[in-house]
Amino acid sequence: MLAYLAKRLLEMIPTLFGITLISFLIIHLAPGKPTDALSEMNPKMTPEARERLEKYYGLDKPVMVQYGLWLKRIVKLDFGESFSMDRRPVMQKIWDTKQPITERRLFITFMLNVMAMIIILLVAIPIGISSATHQYTLYDKITTTTVFVGFAMPSFWLALLLMLLFGVYLDWLPISGLKSMNYDALPFWGKVIDRVRHLVLPLFVVAFSSLAADSRYMRSSMLEVIRQDYVTVARAKGLPEKAVIYRHAFRNALLPLITLIGLSVPGLIGGSVIFENIFGIPGMGQLFFNGVMARDYPLIMAILTIGAFLTLIGNLLADVGYMLADPRIRTGQ
């Protein structure tokens, strides 16, 4: 098991290298120089000043040399200075050490996705199992149809509809931000309730789209497993149906789902741009979007790399989960 883990970790290194190379090349092969954005904002920029600037960022050197220099810096988690007005280090924007940890952008996005993932698992797995064990019943048909529609639902439209219903017409929930203006004045429980109220809609939206795919997947995986011989054997020897489903079938049906969850990590991270934008959540997705609008290229490269890194971690965790669920891999067969 340890050997397998070590092998997976080693395999991550060339991938990580490739990720940095692609993020770098995308920005540098794109038409227009990165410093264009800076000079556009400042009409007084002379050609000499621009040259100085390019020298400062190392843009006068060959692309591969620049890549080497950039790589050397990002190993130390130094992503350079942002191109925006405040010129803060990119890393400070993503992970602001002056703020409490709950206010840091990367943390906010990460926690939202983790919470969404937990909700997805808690809901998708039971739905998938029950619609598989009740195949072709009305319940199964209703969930299957809902899931099919849910799959086609644009998440940003769902967000708009929920904002319209719960925010505007019913006026039950706030539609923007992570906390109210008077947050600091609230007592402890008031703070907790305020947070939860702000999180309900974004979490629902994030969870919904994956929920559809995952429960569908769980259903088909379960359907496949309950037709296997060992499930019939378990039934034949008189085990109660609950034990058959949850002890014998469930663990094997879970395996493909673990892979799917690993694969859905990039989608979740990428989707954070959309829902953070809609709900005004100050996370990494919103920062990335602002960076794109301002052509803030050190920031864009940094977040591309971090996003891919998080995906790699997600895949690794999925592998570990797979290993824990499947003894064949654990014993190295």
Partner 1 sequence: MKKESLGSLFWDRFRQNSLAVSGGVIVVCLFVLAVLAPVFSPYKPNDIDRNYILAPPDMRHPLGTDDLGRDVLSRMIYGARISLAVGFVAVGIATLIGIAFGAVAGYYGGWIERIIMRFIDIMLTIPTFFLILAVIAFVEPSIWNIMIVIGLTGWMGVARLVRAEFLSVKERDYVMAARALGASDIRIIFRHVMINSMAPVLVSAVLGIAGAVLVESALSFLGIGVQPPTPSWGNILTLGKDNIEIAWWLSVFPGLAILITVLGYNILGEGIRDSIDPRLREAGRR
Gap between the terminal Cα atoms of the chain? 10
Question: Measuring CA to CA, which residue among 257, 264, 274, 263 is closest to residue 109?
Answer: 274
- Rounding to the nearest 10 degrees, give the CA dihedral for residues 254, 259, 260, 264: 140
| Least spacing, CB of residue 188 vs partner 1, in Å | 32
Closer to partner 1 by Cβ: residue 199 or 269 = 269
DSSP helix, strand, coil percent of the chain (3-state; round to 5): 75, 0, 20
Number of residues in the chain: 333
Closer to partner 1 by Cβ: residue 95 or 289 = 289
**Residue 219 main-chain phi, psi, to 5 deg:** -60, -50
SS (H, E, C) 162-205: HHHHHHHHCCCCCCCCCCCCCHHHCCHHHHHHHHHHHHHHHHHH
Number of residues that bind partner 1 (CB under 8 A): 60
Of the candidate spans 23-31, 55-63, 114-122, 320-328, the one that interacts with partner 1 by CB under 8 A turns out to be: 23-31
Site for partner 1 in 198-227 (CB under 8 A): 213, 216-217, 220-221, 223-224
Instruction: Kindly state the tokens that stand for 242.
Output: 């609950």
Does 30 bind partner 1 (CB under 8 A)? Our answer is yes
Does 171 bind partner 1 (CB under 8 A)? Our answer is no
- Cβ–Cβ < 8 Å for 11, 270: no
Quote the CA–CA distance of 49 and 145 in Å, as a whole number. Answer: 61
Question: Measuring CA to CA, which residue among 274, 301, 294, 268 is closest to residue 94?
Answer: 301
Chosen residue from 128, 174, 291, 298 binding partner 1 by CB under 8 A: 291
- Cβ–Cβ < 8 Å for 221, 257: yes
Contact characters 224-243, partner 1, x per CB under 8 A: x-------------------
Does 112 bind partner 1 (CB under 8 A)? Our answer is no
Quote the CA–CA distance of 133 and 249 in Å, as a whole number. Answer: 11
Does 142 bind partner 1 (CB under 8 A)? Our answer is no
Does 317 bind partner 1 (CB under 8 A)? Our answer is no
Chosen residue from 90, 106, 127, 163 binding partner 1 by CB under 8 A: 163
Does 311 bind partner 1 (CB under 8 A)? Our answer is yes
Q: Which DSSP category does 102 fall into?
A: G
Of the candidate spans 47-55, 200-208, 271-279, 319-327, the one that interacts with partner 1 by CB under 8 A turns out to be: 271-279
Chosen residue from 277, 319, 325, 326 binding partner 1 by CB under 8 A: 277
Does 113 bind partner 1 (CB under 8 A)? Our answer is no
| Least spacing, CB of residue 302 vs partner 1, in Å | 11
Quote the CA–CA distance of 297 and 302 in Å, as a whole number. Answer: 8
Does 167 bind partner 1 (CB under 8 A)? Our answer is yes
| Least spacing, CB of residue 230 vs partner 1, in Å | 20
Longest dimension (CA), the chain: 85
Q: Contact residues for partner 1 (CB under 8 A)?
A: 14-15, 18-19, 22-23, 26-27, 30-32, 148-149, 151-154, 156-157, 160-161, 163-164, 167-168, 175, 213, 216-217, 220-221, 223-224, 256, 260, 263, 266-267, 269-271, 273-274, 277-278, 288-289, 291-293, 295, 297, 300, 303-304, 307-308, 311-312, 315
